[in-house]
Structure 1
Amino acid sequence: MCGERRHAGAGPRWAARLALLVAAGALVLVLTAAGIDSLGLLVVGLAGLAVTAAALWWTLSRRGLVRALAAVLALLTPGGVLLAYSAVGLLWAVLSALALWAVAALIGRSALAADAGRAKERTRSTPPPKAPFLIMNPRSGGGKVGRFDLVAKARARGAEVVVLDPAHPQDVAELARRAVAGGADLLGVAGGDGTQALVAGVAAGHGLPFMVISAGTRNHFAMDLGLDRDDPSKCLDALTDGVELRVDLGRIGERVFVNTASFGAYATVVQSPAYRDDKVRTILRELPDLLTHHAGPRLTVRAGQVAIDAPQGVLISNNPYGLGDAAGLGRRPRLDSGALGVLGVSVDNAAQAAGLLRGQQARGLISLAAEEVVVRSDAPDVPVGVDGEALLLPAPVVCRVMPGALRVRVPRDRPGVPDAKPPVDWRALRRLAFAHRTGGTTG
């Protein structure tokens, strides 16, 4: 009996070859159109990026005339680069090459994801809750609770709903605890990520399922759960036809967070009483002293065996965010990796600010994962932004991951379940493209 075995990665391998071919096409296009001048085009483009990054640093870290001139430089430099390309008749070639490169990156990312295999979510079917309890904030997301008639739709599905009164702030965690004492077998929130985190902590503490209704403004947690952010009423389908996921939670001191805890310059700025009324002006006023270490606490961060001394900013996330996204810190491929993401930024001058363009290879950028992160300070208290809320916590601040701590009930069908797409690693793509087929016959 004979059979033939084919390499399981034939599809991804050909996709990788196509990505490299398109990338090569971008290079050939520039070389053909510009010839020997293509080296000059590259130098001009890289110089323009570096000058823009440096100018942005001066805009944020300086005041007065220097700041104004730097802001003008940051605005004019990209336009000047484009004018330089246009003056030699090569703007079309540069824009076309960039478009081809973007297509190549898209194909390459898909090829690497297909080769690695999509990380399957571990879901389990469970009976619908008998006594679900939902908390809704009518002001979240510009009034999504009312706009999508979430209260009536939830009650029609058998849920008890408490609508918060914006004029009289309530302790949502205490509301959730009372509901549990009264027999609730599911807790849910239609509101911002900060409210989600407080109630999620209660649900995790009692081993109850938690439900997310994407009625906030940004809905980062809902996005990474794959929920519909355009129509939060579809999240209510979880009450009648849902499945459960096990996801991690972050803990900072005694408080739970579902997304991030931020330290450093931004966390200090948002503590200012003037920030709520005039965000931009407050940031521009406070940042220069914070970025140059003339104000604010001096931080020391230890994540595992790695120490970060005096960073301007540190972002600790419940599971690492993907850094390969063109949009930057957009989303987390997983919520069950059992690790915190740590991103530290240390920039002391314009040259280091320009160096951040190298991404993960930048000298002033540290990106890693750890189960525990300890943040120390030369001040007794540390400003922290936890899921968008400004807090002041006693130093040292300890952040830990709580693996699989939260049961999340979600609709069986979700439109935005994220693919586990890695960033484009061109070396890995080249290895995949030219990998040998393993095959033969057996008899």
Structure 2
Amino acid sequence: MNETRTTRTSGPTIKDALTRARWWARLALALVVGCVLVVAGGAGSGGWLVLLTGLAGLALAGAGVWWMLAHRGGARFLGGVVAVATPVCVLVLYATSGLWVVAVGALALWAAALASARASLRGLRRPKGTHGRRTPPPRRPVLIMNVRSGGGKVVKHGLAERAEALGARVVLLGTGDGWDDPVAEARKAVAEGADLLGVAGGDGTQALVAAVAAEHDLPFLVVVAGTRNHFAMDLGLDRTDPVRSLDALTQGVELRVDLGDVDGRPFVNTVSFGAYAEIVQNPAYRDAKAATALEHLPELLQGQAGPVLDVRADDTGLHAPQALLVSNNPYARADPIGGGRRPRLDTGLLGAIGVRVDGPAQAAELALLGERASGITSLTSHRVVVEADRDRIPVAVDGEALELPTPVVCTVRPRVLRVRVPKHRPGAPYAPPTVDWRRVVRLALGRPDPRTIKEAYDV
């Protein structure tokens, strides 16, 4: 991803890729058989008990977590005890009965099978990273830096001084008690002749300035100085070293990426509705995230608080999700808790992940099946419309708490943003796809379906 690449998958390349993928798929199936044999071989000493006890324990722990989040008082305490004690009891059972050897062997084989299956699917991908093109360095760059963002990274790393040494003009936000408008500063910089706009700050500030850059077709530069830096991660920047972001001023390449829009407001990462959006509205959330979430989740999960959402993603409807995440380009996996990453930022599509868990049974299913559980819906679309039983609903746009009138419309503006990034950068981490065993079996048998070859599983 670091440099412009042109790769064609044709002729012998496809044949070689299919051969490698077939052998990885066969290895994956062989490891699955080995896992079954290990469990079956230990059946005399309770081998099948290993599998059943482990699955039951995982399901019970998931139900305990839901009970803890959806209740207060003694019920919450009991749910927490179940969530913690169940895995401990399973481990004690394995240790005292001598089944730990079977359990460890089966888990190791299953993990190896999953890794081989992913290698098989990943081996057929076509290189589809967001390719950059070389452009001359900017002559009059302006960087807007929020000194409060990311716990003070601008000051800690001396970003303003380093940027000025490279020829940039720096505008500092957050130095006073009032609120500084990054959009006004960006427009002022454009009026004074800036040929590049950059931001050292959170994703919300980045989105606002990015919209101004896109409006004037100017390059946009991201300096990794926020808290989580999801946009920077998906651009392949080094999140551990904000100083390296400034290399784009002198040695950079330009990417064309999409920009999300929610009711006329830009976003670079996500728009959240439902439980999370309700919780971040609370002023106490910034200083006590866990305590604030635990205080409000019971009513939100049981439907006693918050609006009832009705979602339409293009032609697909989704009724009453407890939480909805709309992203600027789809995430590789439907993992709203883990965050994940986006393999592409230029597909022209929105991702939509809806979550609804109505009780302990669905929570147990979620613990067992993960993103394949019935409580999680993952969609891609060009337009997402969110209606509700209220005139206005809480919305979190790139983590910023807002309240917007319904219906709320999310769209994406394809490839309108020119992002300048360092020529040499780590690249975005690989996000493995969910393993589809039907495709793996077909590959192993030498009969891959066209979708397996055509679709990309990696950047």
Superposed counterparts of 1:38-57, under 5 Å = 38-57=47-66
Question: 1:281: Cα distance to partner?
Answer: 2.5
**Closer, same or farther in 2 for the Cα pair 1:363/1:243, shift >3 Å?**
same
Superposed counterparts of 1:228-267, under 5 Å = 228-267=238-277
Measure the CA separation in 1 of the matches of 2:214 and 2:288: 37
Q: Look up the match of 1:157.
A: 166
Of 176, 180, 184, the residue aligned with 2:186 is 176
Question: 1:272: Cα distance to partner?
Answer: 1.9
Question: 1:395: Cα distance to partner?
Answer: 0.9
Q: Which of 410-419 and 335-344 deviates more?
A: 410-419
- Whether 2:372 is the aligned partner of 1:361: answer yes
Q: Which residue type is aligned with residue 155 of structure 1?
A: E
> Residue 119 of structure 1 contacts residue 420 of structure 1 at CA under 8 Å; is this kept in 2?
no
Measure the CA separation in 1 of the matches of 2:225 and 2:106: 40
Measure the CA separation in 2 of the matches of 1:179 and 1:327: 38
> Residue 50 of structure 2 contacts residue 102 of structure 2 at CA under 8 Å; is this kept in 1?
no
Any stretches of 5+ residues in structure 2 without a counterpart? Answer: 1-10, 449-459
Q: Look up the match of 1:133.
A: 142
Of 110, 125, 134, the residue aligned with 1:101 is 110
TM-score normalised by length of structure 1: 0.92
Measure the CA separation in 1 of the matches of 2:59 and 2:432: 29
Which digits, 9 at most, give the CA deviation of each residue in 1:119-166, with x for residues without a partner?
143321111111111111223222222232222221121111112234
SS in 2 for 1:393: strand
Q: Which of 197-206 and 22-31 deviates more?
A: 22-31
Q: Look up the match of 2:72.
A: 63
Q: CA RMSD in A?
A: 2.2
Question: 1:420: Cα distance to partner?
Answer: 7.0
Q: Look up the match of 1:76.
A: 85
> Residue 113 of structure 1 contacts residue 420 of structure 1 at CA under 8 Å; is this kept in 2?
no
Question: 1:178: Cα distance to partner?
Answer: 0.6
Q: Which residue type is aligned with residue 304 of structure 1?
A: D
Q: Which of 142-151 and 237-246 deviates more?
A: 142-151
Measure the CA separation in 1 of the matches of 2:447 and 2:390: 58
- Whether 2:200 is the aligned partner of 1:201: answer no
Which digits, 9 at most, give the CA deviation of each residue in 1:230-285, with x for residues without a partner?
11111111111111111111100010111100000121111123333433222222
Question: 1:70: Cα distance to partner?
Answer: 0.9
SS in 1 for 2:123: helix
Question: 1:326: Cα distance to partner?
Answer: 12
> Residue 249 of structure 1 contacts residue 404 of structure 1 at CA under 8 Å; is this kept in 2?
yes
Q: Look up the match of 1:422.
A: 433
Measure the CA separation in 1 of the matches of 2:287 and 2:132: 44
> Residue 324 of structure 1 contacts residue 423 of structure 1 at CA under 8 Å; is this kept in 2?
no
Q: Look up the match of 2:290.
A: 280
> Residue 29 of structure 1 contacts residue 97 of structure 1 at CA under 8 Å; is this kept in 2?
yes
Which digits, 9 at most, give the CA deviation of each residue in 1:352-389, with x for residues without a partner?
22222323432221111011011111111110111111
Q: Which residue type is aligned with residue 243 of structure 2?
A: S
Question: 1:291: Cα distance to partner?
Answer: 1.1
Which digits, 9 at most, give the CA deviation of each residue in 1:378-437, with x for residues without a partner?
111110111111111111100011111211111112112344753322221222233179
Measure the CA separation in 2 of the matches of 1:88 and 1:160: 69
Seq. identity, %: 55
Q: Look up the match of 2:455.
A: none
Q: Which of 367-376 and 105-114 deviates more?
A: 105-114
Which digits, 9 at most, give the CA deviation of each residue in 1:80-124, with x for residues without a partner?
111122222122331343233223322322321121223143321
Q: Which of 421-430 and 230-239 deviates more?
A: 421-430
Which digits, 9 at most, give the CA deviation of each residue in 1:42-85, with x for residues without a partner?
21111111111111111111112111111111111111111122
Any stretches of 5+ residues in structure 1 without a counterpart? Answer: 438-443
Q: Look up the match of 1:403.
A: 414
Q: Look up the match of 1:116.
A: 125
